[in-house]
């Protein structure tokens, strides 16, 4: 009889914990940082290789009923090597302010769980550095627009106040390069560690 009561109470507490974690509206705010890996598809003329970059910024999360809206704001550096025939390697660095607007869901309770999400991302260029001479730059220059648009999809794991996110970002508008007649989309994979500063 005692075992039955203890088991029933345990199930009730677990159910209440899941319900409170997914039904009651909540707000969280935190910081994040991590690495990204930009992919710039080759087109038969330019041979491109990928380089690691970084991201650092803030996130917020408003949720209820097991779903949440997560806007973010972070500084990101996307780095790519572009090689033209008979030309030195062009190391391009795009520094931008990225603003993902993500919708997602959560499974789990008591500070441990998994997340999945997706949504649009706006990217505003801060600088577009390329370490090449003017002549070579004209041949392999990347015309990274002041505003670019893309989408992100990903998943993450929450452990207490920490989260680990793995994402894929695909560009929606194309970037011109070379003589301006060639265009492509930049794709980015990122791995970030987030920390929740507070929640309401």
CATH number of 25-199: 2.40.160.20
- pLDDT at residue 30, rounded to an integer: 96
pLDDT in tens, 51-86: 788 999 999 999 877 789 999 999 998 877 766 666
Q: Residue 16 — very low, low, confident or very high, per pLDDT cuts 50/70/90?
A: very low
Residues paired with 113 in a beta bridge = 108, 158
How big is the CA angle at 141 (ends 145 and 37), to the nearest 5 degrees?
A: 70
Q: Which among 173, 63, 157, 81 is positioned nearest to 121, based on CA atoms?
A: 173
Distance CA(34)–CA(191), nearest Å, equals 6
Cα separation, 83 vs 104, in Å, equals 39
Q: Of 63, 69, 39, nearest to 51 (Cα)?
A: 39
Please give the pLDDT value at position 187: 84
How many other C-beta atoms can be found within 10 angstroms of the C-beta atom of residue 148?
A: 21
**pTM beyond cutoff 0.85:** no
Q: What is the Cα–Cα distance from 51 to 53, expressed in whole angstroms? A: 7
Q: Is the pLDDT of residue 102 over 90?
A: yes
Phi/psi at 22 (5° precision): -110, -20
CB count in 10 Å sphere of residue 61? 23
Under DSSP, the state recorded for 146 is S
Model pLDDT, residue 108: 75
Most confident region among 5-14, 120-129, 149-158 by mean pLDDT: 149-158
Say if residues 35 and 54 touch (Cβ distance below 8 Å): yes
């Amino acid at each position: 009889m005692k075992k039955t009561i203890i088991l029933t109470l345990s199930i009730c507490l677990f159910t209440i914990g899941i319900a409170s974690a997914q039904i009651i509206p909540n707000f969280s705010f935190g910081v994040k940082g991590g690495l990204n890996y930009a992919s710039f598809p080759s087109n038969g003329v330019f041979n491109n290789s990928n380089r690691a970059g970084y991201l650092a910024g803030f996130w917020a999360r408003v949720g209820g009923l097991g779903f949440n809206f997560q806007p973010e704001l972070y500084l990101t550096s996307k780095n790519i090597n572009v090689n033209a025939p008979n030309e030195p390697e062009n190391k391009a660095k795009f520094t931008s302010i990225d603003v993902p607007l993500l919708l997602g869901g959560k499974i789990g309770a008591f500070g441990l769980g998994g997340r999945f999400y997706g949504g649009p991302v706006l990217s505003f260029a801060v600088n577009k550095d390329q370490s090449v001479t003017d002549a070579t730059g004209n041949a392999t220059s990347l015309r990274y627009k002041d505003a670019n648009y893309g989408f992100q999809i990903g998943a993450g794991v929450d452990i207490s106040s920490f989260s680990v996110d793995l994402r894929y970002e695909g560009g929606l508008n194309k970037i011109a390069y070379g003589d301006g007649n060639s265009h492509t989309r930049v794709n980015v994979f990122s791995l970030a560690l987030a920390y929740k500063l507070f929640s309401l």
